[in-house]
Each structure stands twice: as structure tokens, then as C-alpha cells.
């Protein structure tokens, strides 16, 4: 194992990877939930209102799970990766991408938390309420995919730093 | 029958989302430009990022309930204006954060 400073134990390493995997997975499921809500609202009627509301709540819960796991990982495990990235060939993976991601995610968290509030109106009867939910549900995948992309570049920054150290 | 109303909390928390997004970006600038601010935020919870999140979420929830009070914008605003405010607030927050780390920092 290549590491900078104190090497983590095998258990810590496994926990690190499990948390990261769950963080990304919950994020992806949240985005899929928002897309589901968007499509369902395009055909909103009395029959699917309950499903729209449940799915918007589910998206918010998935986002909070992803945020709490990611936040825990960022505070506990990321300092080691950060040191690696900064010494590697892609320091912008931290200096730009992680710095941006850790603050954009707060906006996404508020947006997804707002989705069930917006979806609580009578979407079958109100065109305005439908339009509002379409905007909110449509913005979530845009910002979410941007943040997922940032995460991928941060992971690449770690990999490149490890490869550079091996060479 | 179509109606054009949304609940007062839909309006108030939508506005709070816009306020929270801009506040998020402004706190980024404040803590990155002032080591004193960042150190104070670090001291509060042990991590400046956790303090940042807590401040923004408190603002979001507080403004959400504040704007819903009688006479507040939650009782008056139309949905078109609300959508424009949410998109503008979010766009401003995202652009300030992205621009700050891209150009200024």
C-alpha cells in the first residue's frame, strides 16, 4: 500500500471505501429520484400525486444520506487524500474541484430538501405548482451530475498521485 | 379545475433557498479571504466546513419560516416570480463559488 504520512489500517481502508461507495450511490439514486419526479409531474393527475410526493421525499432522504456520509468521509478520511492530491500531478483536483464541490453540495442539499415542499401542493389542479416542481426537479440532475463529475475528477487526482509516486 | 395557488411555505422556503444559495457563496468568500473568519468557524465545530453547513441550513430554515409570516412575501408572491427568484439565487450562488475558485483563489 502506498500512503502519505501514517498508513490507515485495513479496517479503516475498507470503511473509507464503503462510505465512499455509499456516498456516490445515494447521490446517483437521488438524481434518479428527481428524474422520476420530473417525468411523473409531466403527467400529474390525482392518481399519481401520492407517488410523486413519496418519490420526492425519497429523493430528499437519499440526498441527506449521501450528504451525511460524504460529510463524515470529508472530515475524517479526506485529509490523507488531500495531502496526496496536492503532492501529485493534478493538484487542481483539490484546489478547484473539491473546494467547489464541498460548497455547491450545500445548495443541492437545500434544493432537494425543498422538492417535497414544492410537491406537497395539488399538482393535478395547479399548472403553476407543476411548473415549479418541474423547475426544481429539473435543476437537481443538472447540479447533481456536475457534482458527481467533480467527485470523479477528485478520485482521478488521487489515482494520478498514487501512480506518480509508484513511478 | 385548474388553480394557480401554492402554499405559503412553498413560496417562503423557495425564497429561503435563493437566500441560502447566495449566503453559501458569500460565506465562501468571507472565510477564504479572511483567516480570522475561517479560524473562528474552525473553532466553533472543529471544522470550518461543518460550521459553514450549519450556518447555511439555519439561514434556510429560519428564512423559510420568517417569510411565511403574515404580511411576508410567502403570502403575496406569484409562482412565476418565485421560479425566477429560485433560479436566479441558485445561479448566483453557483457562479460566485465556481468563479471564486476559478479566478480569485
- The full 3-state SS of A3-68, as one line of letters, equals CCCCCCCHHHHHHHHHHHHHHHHHHHHHHHHHHHHHHHHHCCCHHHHHHHHHHHHHHHHHHHHHHH
Percent of chain B's residues with pLDDT above 90: 84
Please give the DSSP secondary-structure letter assigned to residue B75: G
| pLDDT at position B104 over 90 | no
Give residue-wise pLDDT tens across range A8-45.
677 777 888 899 999 999 999 999 999 999 999 999 99
pLDDT at A149: 96
Q: Which residue of B has its CA nearest to A95?
A: B101
Mean of pLDDT values over B75-103: 94
Cβ atoms of A88 and A157 within 8 Å: the answer is yes
pLDDT at A10: 76
pLDDT at A8: 67
pLDDT at A90: 95
Give residue-wise pLDDT tens across range A151-167.
999 999 999 999 987 76
| pLDDT at position B95 over 50 | yes
Q: Which residue has the higher pLDDT, A134 or B76?
A: A134
Mean of pLDDT values over A80-109: 96
pLDDT at B101: 95
User: How sure is the predictor about A3, in pLDDT bands with cuts at 50, 70 and 90?
Assistant: low
Mean of pLDDT values over B7-26: 96
d(CA A81, CA A71): 14
CA within 13 Å, CB half, A162: 11
Predicted-assembly ipTM surpassing the 0.90 threshold: yes
* B24 min Cα distance to partner chain A (Å): 7
| Chain A residue numbers touching B38 (CB-CB < 8 A) | none
Which of B18, B53, B55 to mutate: most A Cβ within 10 Å? B53
Mean of pLDDT values over B37-55: 96
Q: Which residue of B has its CA nearest to A94?
A: B101
In sequence order, the 6+-apart residues with CB closer than 8 A to the CB of B103 are none
Cβ atoms of B78 and B10 within 8 Å: the answer is no
User: How sure is the predictor about B1, in pLDDT bands with cuts at 50, 70 and 90?
Assistant: very low
- Interchain contact A68–B (C-beta under 8 A): no
Mean of pLDDT values over B66-84: 85
| pLDDT at position A1 over 80 | no
Mean of pLDDT values over A36-59: 97
Q: SS3 of B3, please?
A: strand
- B21 and A75 within 8 Å at the Cβ level: the answer is no
Amino acid at each position: 500500500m502506498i500512503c502519505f504520512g501514517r498508513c490507515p489500517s485495513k479496517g479503516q481502508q475498507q470503511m473509507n471505501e464503503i462510505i465512499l461507495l455509499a456516498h456516490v450511490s445515494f447521490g446517483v439514486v437521488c438524481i434518479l429520484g428527481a428524474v422520476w419526479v420530473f417525468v411523473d409531474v409531466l403527467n400529474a393527475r390525482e392518481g399519481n400525486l401520492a407517488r410523486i410526493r413519496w418519490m420526492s421525499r425519497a429523493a430528499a432522504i437519499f440526498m441527506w444520506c449521501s450528504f451525511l456520509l460524504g460529510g463524515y468521509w470529508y472530515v475524517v478520511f479526506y485529509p490523507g487524500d488531500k495531502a496526496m492530491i496536492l503532492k501529485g500531478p493534478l493538484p487542481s483536483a483539490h484546489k478547484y474541484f473539491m473546494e467547489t464541490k464541498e460548497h455547491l453540495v450545500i445548495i443541492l442539499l437545500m434544493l432537494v430538501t425543498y422538492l417535497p415542499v414544492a410537491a406537497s401542493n395539488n399538482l393535478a389542479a395547479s399548472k403553476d405548482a407543476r411548473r415549479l416542481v418541474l423547475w426544481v426537479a429539473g435543476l437537481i440532475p443538472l447540479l447533481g451530475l456536475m457534482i458527481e463529475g467533480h467527485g470523479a475528477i477528485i478520485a482521478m487526482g488521487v489515482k494520478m498521485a498514487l501512480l506518480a509516486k509508484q513511478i | 379545475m385548474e388553480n394557480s395557488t401554492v402554499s405559503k411555505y412553498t413560496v417562503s422556503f423557495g425564497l429561503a433557498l435563493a437566500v441560502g444559495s447566495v449566503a453559501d457563496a458569500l460565506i465562501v468568500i468571507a472565510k477564504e479571504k479572511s483567516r480570522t473568519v475561517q479560524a473562528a468557524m474552525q473553532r466553533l465545530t472543529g471544522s470550518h466546513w461543518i460550521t459553514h453547513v450549519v450556518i447555511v441550513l439555519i439561514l434556510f430554515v429560519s428564512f423559510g419560516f420568517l417569510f411565511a409570516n403574515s404580511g411576508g412575501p410567502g403570502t403575496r408572491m406569484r409562482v412565476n416570480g418565485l421560479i425566477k427568484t429560485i433560479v436566479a439565487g441558485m445561479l448566483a450562488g453557483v457562479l460566485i463559488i465556481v468563479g471564486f475558485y476559478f479566478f480569485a483563489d
